[in-house]
Structure 1
Amino acid sequence: MTAIQPVAVATVPLREVATIYSGGTPSKANASFWVGDIPWVSPKDMGEDRISDAEDHISADAVEGSATKLVPTASILVVVRSGILVRKLPIGLTTRPVAFNQDIKALVVDETRFLPEFIFWLLRAAEPRALVVGVKKGATVHSLSAGYLESIPVPVLPLDEQRHIVDILNHAASIRRLREEARAKARDIIPALFVDMFGDPATNPKGWPVSRLDAEVSFVSGATPSKQEPRYWADGTPWVSAKDMKADPIVAAEDEVSDAAFAETNLKLIPAGSVLIVVRGMILAHTIPIRVNAVPVAINQDLKAMLPKPGMSEQFIRWCLQCLHNHLLAKISTAAHGTKKLEMDVLTALPIPAPPVPLQQEFAQRVAEVEGISSLNDRATTAAEQMAQSLLAQVFGQTA
């Protein structure tokens, strides 16, 4: 890999490099605004470097009739208001035109002078400093200080030098993505392993005894402590909502709650080794997130926790439900106000096979072996991330 020399050149503020737009939310009262094909990006959609879609979609009329903006391909989205800013500054480069909400700002770069990918990597390098000096912390929601983003210094380099830098940083990122893909492929083995050992749970070809789900697990509901009590939202226990259900397993969340939240509200502590499932939210239009939590957590009211009863393995329950995903997805209903939901009577009465405990334990052990392969890939991914951060520091040392 070609070495990069530290940049020591003139800079200009970001406001002189890009047009910066604020977003908005179309009226929820106008149902026609929410049936289009334009991705409407909010912080929950900002988990990847490249933004190609969103959980919610809006119509062209929604763009015309609200404060949201439609920005072109190769725009840069930055989350400027969210609880996640306590630990991360989400940044993404769009791969198609998108709209976005008021918690995000969009940068449309002057491409006659700067490459959008160069500015993207600059902002990635600026993240550590932004989290320390640029974030204004509230009780539960944090935000970038007014004017901070616009004033970030941008090195003025010829386009060919920018391209050289971008190519090297993209190469480092591609190594990281390959590691992540390898991890995902390792996990793809598990559903096939489940079917091989137990058969398709929808048809139960191996003739196992069948039981209702609520006979094999205890259900626990979630809650949201008052946002008016900042002491409930101190660092402590991860408080998991649908936006946190991308990680696998669940070990952290964007928000955390204190011991006082458990002592003074109806919030329940969910022990490690439970199975979490999203039962309400627009994400249920296309997928039902199901995860195991590796640490004790709390959950919000859009999730249910399932605590396996003695003799049932959490891994068996999780992957049984995963194999029944399409069956459950077909049962999703729509509330009067448009929100998707999985009714509890559907979930609790779900018939599942109940194979012998030793076989469930053998399956759990094999899942652990696959997870071990994933852990190796995780360590390799971490090494690739450290390499990328080192390269960022070399290029943008005065910004990072």
Structure 2
Amino acid sequence: MSVARPPEDARAEAEAEAEAEGCPVHFAELPDDAGAAANAEFFPLKPAPTSALGEVCEINPRLPKDHGLQDHSEVAFVPMAAVDEISATIAQRLTRPFAEVRKGYTPFAEGDVLFAKITPCMENGKVAVARDLAGGRGFGSTEFHVLRAREAVLPEWVYYFLRQQRFRNAAKRSFTGTAGQQRVPAAHMAAAAIPVPAMVHQRRMVEALGCADSMVRLRRRARALTELMVPALLADMFGDPQSNPKGWPSATLGELLDGIDSGKSPRCHDRPKAENEWGVLRLSALKNALYDESDHKTLPETELPDTRSEVQAGDLLISRKNTRELVGTPAYVWETRGRILLPDLIFRLRLRADAGVNPLYLWALLRAPAIRKGLQLLASGTAASMPNISKERLRTLRVMVPSQALQETFAQRVAALHAIAQQQDAALAHAKKTFEALLARAFGP
């Protein structure tokens, strides 16, 4: 049973984390629904006046005639893919000669805010501040709205305003255009009401938001590094699965399995299930070799669940159909809340009791690049359809079978890494709540 920490302990921890990241932030008493929120030093006691976004920003400014660029001048180039929706930053730094981008691209300058206006990039949160541009200017996708802050607001203030889920929800309701090509009109951006506190408060709030945002990114990075430990451990203990330098015995999956299960994919409600309902996994529930039970649809009341297809803790799953890069993605089910069914696009591998194979070892092995390539080669399908791996072909996959004792040691280490990952997931969720709480405090109810 977990024990709630006293508020002063949680506050001290939050301040220590902020100080470690070089953020001189002193937090006030922590709210119940998030880790930390700033006090009146950062947040005005009185509501800030509001202005239309178009009053405090120039929206989609043109390239000035006196830009001073020559055809050979190097400028920043930002296609939509260069903006990362997770970190909300320009993740790829590209340059192009001015002659190549002067026509057919959106111009922007140092300090401008880029906001993706097209679905689904807008909903996914593709937004960034243009910083450290080559030559101080850049060109990017025509699917960006560009916002240039005037004297009343900081670029970062506008950036965090656009990061709000509430703003993106309202922007989605303003969509115009046909399905798949819907966009946020510039008129909606210009009319959006943004709080405009005094500049001193903007700077302090931007500082607090930046610190909270940095902690989210660092915790996400730490989680990703932990996940890389599993393939590194596999290679260290057993060697490369393709060359098998340690000479382990090998077998086909068919020789190791008692069976391969699959479920059904009836027409479902596109919403999460209630506690007493049944859900059916989406194909995307197997992502990055991890199992995400929340990615499911709800079985209609008229459909009787086939409990033989219910996902159980300890199951080893693998996608039988997906894109060429993702087909054959494995996932190990560490835990489940129950009442979740397999779809017809996901297999469950049932190992024989006497196979001498630990499911955690096999899960890690199926993640290895050499085995992933072998799985992709087993998939068949036309160019117009997603590749599919049949049960018969899957059974032919040959894998190395090390000693059972060494597999058990490996499984224990993987379980220890999983425990660390769970702690990191909780810390990441805490950091996200803190950031969202700060956003809510900064921009009002």
Q: TM-score band, normalised by the shorter chain?
A: 0.5 to 0.7
Change (3 A) 1:156 1:233: closer
Whole-angstrom distance in 2 between the partners of 1:18 and 1:246: 40
Contact 1:250 1:291 in 2 (8 A): no
* Corresponding residue number in structure 2 for 1:318: 363
Alignment match, 2:313: 272
Partner of residue 380, structure 1: 427
The one of 208, 220, 224 aligned to 2:261: 220
The superposition leaves residues 209-237 of structure 1 with CA deviations (integer Å, 9 ceiling, x where unpaired) of: 322123334333455322xx649974443
- 1:197-254 Cα shifts (integer Å, max 9, x gaps): 333222333333322123334333455322xx6499744436232376148342421x
Sort the Cα spacing of 1:341 and 1:372 in 2 relative to 1 into closer, same or farther, 3 A. Answer: same
Structure 1 residue 392 displacement after superposition = 2.0
Q: CA 1:337 to 1:317, structure 2 compared with 1: closer, same or farther past 3 Å? A: same
Distance in 2 (alpha carbons) for counterparts of 1:244 and 1:152: 38
On the 8 A contact 1:233/1:258 being kept in 2, the answer is: no
Matched, 1:204 2:244: yes
- What SS is found at the alignment partner of 1:187? helix
Partner of 1:328: 374
In the alignment, which residue of structure 1 is the partner of 2:229? 189
Residue 401 of structure 2 corresponds to residue 354 of structure 1: yes
Does the 8 Å contact 1:91/1:120 carry over to 2?
no
Contact 2:286 2:330 in 1 (8 A): no
Residue 407 (structure 2) pairs with residue 367 (structure 1): no
Residue 242 of structure 1 corresponds to which residue in structure 2?
284
| Distance change >3 Å, CA 98–CA 353, structure 1 → 2 | farther
Q: Percent identity over the alignment?
A: 22
State the match for 1:175 in structure 2: 215
Give the distance between the partners of 2:405 and 2:59, measured in 1 at CA. 62
Within 2, Cα distance between the matches of 1:207 and 1:157? 68
The match for 1:9 is 48
Distance between the aligned counterparts of 2:441 and 2:243, measured in 1? 57
- Contact (CA 8 Å) 2:114, 2:147: kept in 1 or not? yes
Asked if 1 retains the 8 angstrom alpha-carbon contact of 2:317 and 2:348, the reply is: yes
In the alignment, is residue 397 of structure 1 matched against residue 431 of structure 2? no
Residue 157 of structure 2: aligned partner: 118
Structure 2 vs 1, CA of residues 213 and 98 (structure 1 numbering), >3 Å: closer, same or farther?
Answer: farther
User: Which stretch shifts more, 175-184 or 298-307?
Assistant: 298-307
Contact 1:234 1:257 in 2 (8 A): yes
**1:353 positional shift:** 1.9
Please, what TM-score do these two structures have when normalized by structure 1?
A: 0.65
Q: Are the equivalent residues in 2 in contact too, given 1:225–1:265 (CA < 8 A)?
A: no
- 1:193: Cα distance to partner? 1.9
Structure of greater relative contact order (alpha carbons < 8 Å, 6+ residues apart): 1
Deviation (angstroms), 1:373: 2.1
Shift of residue 368 of structure 1?
0.8
Distance in 2 separating the partners of 1:272 and 1:128: 39
Q: Which residue pairs with 1:308 in the alignment?
A: 351
Return the alpha-carbon distance in structure 1 between the equivalents of residues 90 and 261 of structure 2.
34
Give the deviation of 1:196 after TM superposition: 3.0
TM-score, scaled relative to structure 2: 0.60
- The number of aligned residues is 346
8 Å contact from structure 2 (residues 164, 439) kept in 1? yes
Question: Equivalent residue for 1:156?
Answer: 196
Query: CA 1:182–1:98 in structure 2 vs 1: closer, same or farther (change >3 Å)?
Result: same
Displacement, 1:321?
A: 1.0
| Distance in 1 between residues matched to 2:358 and 2:240, nearest whole Å | 17
Q: Does residue 263 of structure 1 match 2:304? A: yes
Q: Which amino acid aligns with 1:367?
A: V
Match of 2:75 in 1: none
| Alpha-carbon spacing, 1:315–1:393, altered in 2? closer, same or farther (3 Å) | same
Quote how far apart the aligned CAs of 1:319 are: 0.5
Structure 2 residue runs of 5 or longer lacking an equivalent are 1-23, 26-40, 61-77, 93-103, 131-138, 175-181
Letter in 2 for 1:368: A
Letter in 1 for 2:244: N
Deviations 1:94-121 (A, max 9, x none): 5784577xxxxx6543434655643442
